[in-house]
């Protein structure tokens, strides 16, 4: 147990952070699972929509300091590769 007032305060703050980080990571894992489920079902539209939602959550987690930016980039890359295997990106228009 903490012996000083400042240590007690720090214990409370770290517990709040832990709970917040856990909630952010849990929602992120849920969204990534939804994308992978849509990919397994070969549902191109649902996987694209889920991917954009996952991107948003990943970027927010990096901004809040829950994830390192390289970890988020790795998750994005792997998710995008799986989604593109089901639904290839649209070809750029020819000029």
Instruction: Go through 55-66 and write b for each residue having 16 or more CB atoms within 10 A of its CB, e for each that does not.
Output: bebbeebbeeeb
Q: Is the pTM higher than 0.85?
A: no
Quick one: pLDDT at residue 94? 74
In this predicted structure, the answer to whether residue 87 has a pLDDT above a threshold of 80 is no
Residues 37-73: tens digit of each pLDDT: 999 999 999 999 999 999 999 999 999 999 999 999 9
| Of 79, 76, 81, 86, nearest in space to 34 by CA | 79
Residues 9-30: tens digit of each pLDDT: 999 999 999 999 999 999 999 9
Instruction: List the domains of the chain with CATH numbers.
Output: 14-85 (1.20.58.110)
Quick one: pLDDT at residue 88? 77
């Amino acid at each position: 147990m903490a012996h000083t007032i400042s240590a007690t305060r720090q214990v409370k703050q770290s517990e709040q952070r832990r709970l917040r980080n856990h909630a952010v990571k849990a929602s992120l894992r849920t969204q990534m699972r939804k994308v992978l489920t849509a990919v397994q079902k070969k549902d191109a539209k649902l996987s694209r929509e889920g991917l954009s939602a996952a991107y948003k959550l990943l970027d927010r987690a990096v901004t809040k300091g829950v994830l390192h930016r390289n970890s988020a980039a790795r998750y994005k890359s792997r998710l995008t590769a799986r989604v593109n295997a089901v639904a290839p990106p649209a070809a750029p228009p020819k000029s």
